[in-house]
Amino acid sequence: MKIIARIKGGLGNQLFCYAAARRLALVNGVELVIDDVTGFVRDLQYRRRYALDHFQIPCRKATAAERLEPFERYRRGVMKWLSRRKPFEKRRYVEQEGLDFDERLLSLKVRGTLYLDGLWQSEGYFKDVERTIREDLKIIPPTDAHNQRMAEEIRSSEAVALHVRWFDAPGGTATHNISVDYYQRAIALMESTIDSPHYFLFSDDPEAARAKLSLSEARVTFVSHNRGDENAYADLWLMSQCKHFITANSTFSWWGAWLGLHKEKIIVTPDLMIEGKAAWGFKGLIPDEWIRV
């Protein structure tokens, strides 16, 4: 018996795919197999690639047959069609239905081979095996001098990871970017709670983020040297070294905050509902102890 987990999306979503599948495999006592191919072959818009080789994941990769090749797209479509006509607990191919936390996955019994396909964006899918997930998701650190030097700067300060994610063009009539008001409230909360915080700003457009936020140059370090999706893991590693976190509406900074090991960490996150490509605030996404502003 085994679970074949289809990994897809950017790095944050890939981690959610893995964590939910790992927990389901553990509680059922079955093997977890990673499909690191089919979730990316048709990603023509973002051209994402599998990025979990930078973690301590103990599972093997799927064979071509386990990926339903040849004619994968058509065979997968048939499996989905057949499974949708069965009760959830009897499906051989389990797809996520909507974004809200689905507690049915927690009690699912694996019989034979189960295909798992979804983002599963909630700590609720793996909270009861948190220790194992944290072990699996220890990031293999980048070895270059720049990242190592910055990690030392982070560890030697009251570091706050601040993430600004641009889903729409800066300066436009954006509907998915978080407002500057959120960041002002989050920074004010940090300033009132922490002595001498220093902000490490992570962004896919650092210059636009600099213009958006009125932070003293002496109080902020812009982390902009890890370019491209292939180096996203290095930014996530640096983020996780921080003591406190101001997330964007982004699963990337969600994981940066979750992986942070500081026992008294403060995590501030947007308190709003967004649909579409920057979906946020749906049921189960934000852990109870995080501060919503």
Cα separation, 188 vs 47, in Å, equals 37
pLDDT in tens, 131-185: 999 999 999 999 999 999 999 999 999 999 999 998 877 766 667 888 899 999 9
* 2 sits in which H/E element: strand 2-6
Say if residues 262 and 158 touch (Cβ distance below 8 Å): no
Mean residue pLDDT of the chain comes to 95
Tell me, what's the pLDDT at 175? 74
Q: In which band, very low, low, confident or very high, does the pLDDT at 106 lie, cut at 50, 70 and 90?
A: very high
CA distances, 108 to each of 4, 28, 93 (Å)? 14, 8, 12
DSSP 163-195: EE--SS-TTS--SSSPPHHHHHHHHHHHHHHSS
> What is the arithmetic mean of pLDDT over 227-234?
92
Backbone angles phi, psi at 269, to 5 degrees: -145, 155
The CATH code of domain 145-292 reads 3.40.50
> What is the arithmetic mean of pLDDT over 231-238?
97
CA distances, 207 to each of 149, 188, 203, 204, 222 (Å)? 22, 22, 9, 9, 9
Say if residues 159 and 235 touch (Cβ distance below 8 Å): no
* Cβ atoms within 10 Å, residue 258: 23
Q: In which band, very low, low, confident or very high, does the pLDDT at 44 lie, cut at 50, 70 and 90?
A: confident
> What is the arithmetic mean of pLDDT over 46-67?
96
> What is the arithmetic mean of pLDDT over 223-229?
91
Tell me, what's the pLDDT at 173? 62
Tell me, what's the pLDDT at 113? 98
Say if residues 105 and 3 touch (Cβ distance below 8 Å): no
Tell me, what's the pLDDT at 171? 66
Tell me, what's the pLDDT at 71? 97
Tell me, what's the pLDDT at 172? 63
Burial class (CB in 10 A: 0-12, 13-18, 19+), 66: middle
Tell me, what's the pLDDT at 167? 84
Tell me, what's the pLDDT at 289? 97
Say if residues 245 and 160 touch (Cβ distance below 8 Å): yes
pTM: 0.95
Cα separation, 7 vs 49, in Å, equals 10
What is the edge-to-edge ordering of all strands in the sheet holding 267-269? 220-223, 197-203, 158-164, 244-246, 267-269, 291-292
Tell me, what's the pLDDT at 170? 75
What is the edge-to-edge ordering of all strands in the sheet holding 113-117? 60-61, 31-35, 2-6, 113-117, 93-95
* Buried b / exposed e along 74-96 (16+ C-beta atoms within 10 A): eebeebbeebeeeeeeebebbeb
Say if residues 159 and 261 touch (Cβ distance below 8 Å): no
